[in-house]
Amino acid sequence: MWEPEFLTTRHVIPRSHPRVESLLIRKKLVDGFDSGLVAREGLLAQGRGEAFDYLLGEKTGRPARRAIRAAAATLTLAEFPVISVNGNAAALCAAELVSLSMQAGAKLEVNLFYASKKREQAIVRTLRKCGAQKVLGTSPASSARLQGMDSARRMVDRDGILAADVVVVPLEDGDRTAALKSAGKTVIAFDLNPLSRTAQTAHITIVDNITRAAGLLAADIQKIAGKNAKVLHQIVSEFDNRSNLADSIAQIRGNLARRGGLA
């Protein structure tokens, strides 16, 4: 007989449930939606991510580890890194993103696809509760346009993303990734879908669930803190995003073969 260990507003999720991690991540999104952090469309984006996480085996694979290491070196070398935060990212891992920003010396900037002042403020409050001192992206006075985009996401902070040399984009859309790249930024993406335009466009794509990978990235930055710039540049130059994405796709293929009884 199981004991209910996790209570949600709608269901009881026992710890012994085979899909407990996934259900708890889903719960974070639903709670985030109920509290005004997440847009309805964000729930669908989570669904797409979940499907890929399932295919990846719901664990951080070797390709993700390699991307995380390259991202850690890139962030350590960066002069002005910024982490872009949307509703899903805030609902899933606000604390990890705040600690990543501290570890990387990066600024946090709210940037929404479905813009809403109310949601912006809810995200700022959540990040502050987790220890963020300053969150950019909400002041009309410092708002600027990113060239080459039509959606609301073209609005960025002059003192944040517009000035950044490295931008971390969790759960991003492809147009903005391309616009950031065209603006000369180095783009690091968290994206469970190795086939998305974002994954294919970013300089470094971490194909992993952000709930696992954000903390691993902060830990890797800490690990490489003592290394000199030459070693860090070497880590970055040895990383090839295209072949790493191919390895993530191979990870999915391997899983399908094993679990589909083909191996």
Report the distance separating Cα 169 and Cα 122, nearest Å. 19
Tell me the C-alpha distance between 175 and 100, whole Å.
25
- Of the pair 70, 232, the CB lying nearest ligand ATP is at 70
Element (H, E) at 189: strand 186-190
Distance, in Å, from the CA atom of 231 to the CA atom of 237, rounded to the nearest integer, reads: 10
Stretch that binds ligand ATP, among 102-110, 178-186, 192-200, 216-224 (CB under 6 A): 192-200
Q: How far is the CB of 87 from ligand ATP (least distance, A)?
A: 11
Whole-number Å distance between alpha carbons of 18 and 13: 10
Q: Which of residues 42-81 bind ligand ATP (CB under 6 A)?
A: 45-46, 48-49, 52
Separation in Å, CA 195 to CA 4, 139, 250, 254: 38, 34, 12, 16
Q: Which of 191, 204, 218, 248 binds ligand ATP (CB under 6 A)?
A: 191
Only segment of 75-83, 161-169, 187-195, 228-236 that touches ligand ATP (CB under 6 A): 187-195
Instruction: Give residue number: closest CB to ligand ATP.
Output: 49
Contact of 81 with 164, CB cutoff 8 Å: yes
Nearer residue to ligand ATP within complex by CB, 215 or 227: 215
Site membership for ligand ATP, residue 181 (CB under 6 A): no
Query: How many whole angstroms separate alpha carbon 189 and alpha carbon 212?
Result: 14
**Binding to ligand ATP by residue 27, rule CB under 6 A?**
no
How far from the centroid of its chain's Cα atoms is residue 38's Cα?
Answer: 15
Measure the CA–CA gap between 247 and 245, rounded to whole angstroms.
5
- Binding mask of the shown chain, residues 137 to 176, with x at each position contacting ligand ATP by CB under 6 A: ----------------------------------x-xx--
Q: Which residues contact ligand ATP (rule: CB under 6 A)?
A: 45-46, 48-49, 52, 92, 171, 173-174, 190-193, 196-198, 209-211
